[in-house]
Amino acid sequence: MALLEGCKHELEISIPVEDVEKETAKVAEQFRERVHLKGFRAGKAPMSLIRKNYDSDIRQKVLENLVPKAVDARVAAEQLRAVSRPNVTDLHFHDGKDLHFKANFEVFPQFEIPNYNGVEVVYKEPEVTDEDVTKRIDEIRETKATYANEDPRPLADGDYAVVSLESLSGTDEGIKADEVQVLIGGPETLPGFTENLTGSSPGDEKEFDVTYPGDYGRETLAGKTVRFKVGVKGLRRKELPELNDEFAQDLGDFRTLDEVKDAVRKSILAQRQNDAQREAKDKIVDKLVDTNEFPVPEIFVDRQIENRVEQRLRALQSEGVDPKSFKLDWEKVKAAQKDAALREVKASLVLGKVAERESIHATNEEVDRELDRIARQEKQPVAAMRRKLTENGELGRIASHIQTEKTLNYLFEHATKTAE
């Protein structure tokens, strides 16, 4: 065995002539049993004619039968973890001689992570103020708002106008709605609507232009100026529920407003802790990647690049963009994505090594809990969901994700947290 570079290995393999001749005779006999030569029944043609007429096919079949087995046997004997299919070179296949060739392939990297405990990372335990709780409760309160009709009067900032609207020009897609609620002067209301509706009264009908910003969320309208016909149908007043125990009880399993405040505080704290710990965990992994040099199989990087591209194409497809419209220059894509993909692969290998050293793995109970959660979410029987996820390989990825999260938790728990 020879280590060429990084994770690339090369094996020089010889297959004894006796084994080659035995396999050749076996393959030739298989050919004689199934081929038809003029003047002979199947299986009755002289072997000399079979060898003469199908020599190249027989030799190819012999190679297909012998080479992979020989490579697998050597890989197993030398306890190598091959991660790519072998590329066979320098093949010497001559009658009456041993079969010689070289097999080139990549192997799983051999490395250690010596100092993964006590990695120094900036981390401050999050806090939740009374103002944070008040703001969140106000947001919940907004979702419970009701709207009461008011007597007709001219519209002003802060009013909720009920309007009908219809696009007249400026967009290929027709926009029409019989009843839309518009907050005059509201942050989500386009200036064109506020400017033209202010001062209007219920019963008025107007035509005016509205210009959409270039970064508008709906691409078909971004940057366009659309002319609308708008009719003011009414005026409404927002009414917020009082903050009391009755409000709390309407939210679910709460008896008092104080119970709601406690639950909100815990929810905000849990989210902030999760975000802060996620950031710290990412920094720990970044440090381990930066401080530990080891070779990475090129095939791992190529696969990660493919995953990144596929995720991006799926995201574009979800936005209504046809992935087939892209003509990808794979070499340019690889060059652009290589550095990021390499770091992601190294991070995965680092976490895998820590998990191996600390015997961290996903238990059957943990996988089952996640499976139950997915089944409830998809409203399918657990058995059917297990079968589906097993067939598409997703169950293995679930176990891998659990292992990764547990490994990240281990690294965070054993890190040295410092003040910023």
Block residue for tokens 């004997």? 77
Between CA 302 and CA 296 the distance in angstroms is 11
- Summary mean pLDDT of the chain: 91
Provide the pLDDT for residue 393: 86
Whole-structure pTM value:
0.76
CA–CA gap between residue 146 and residue 236 (Å, rounded)? 10
> Which stretches of the chain score pLDDT less than 50?
1
pLDDT in the model for residue 403: 97
pLDDT of residue 3: 57
CA distance 42 to 27: 15
- Residues 180-223: tens digit of each pLDDT: 999 999 999 999 999 999 999 999 999 999 999 999 988 889 89
Ramachandran quadrant class, 14 (left: phi over 0; alpha: psi -120 to 50; beta: rest):
beta
Sheet strands (E) in 286-415? none
- Sorted by sequence, the CB contacts under 8 Å of residue 164 that are 6+ apart come out as 177, 178, 179, 180, 230, 231, 233
Could you read off the pLDDT of 307-335 as tens digits, one per residue? 888 888 887 777 777 767 667 777 787 88
Whole-number pLDDT of residue 254? 94
Q: Give first-to-last CA distance, the chain, whole Å.
A: 50
Q: Percent of the chain having pLDDT more than 70?
A: 98
Q: Are 139 and 300 in contact (CB under 8 A)?
A: no
Q: Phi then psi for 179, rounded to 5 degrees?
A: -150, 110
Kind plus residue range of the DSSP H or E element containing 147: strand 146-149
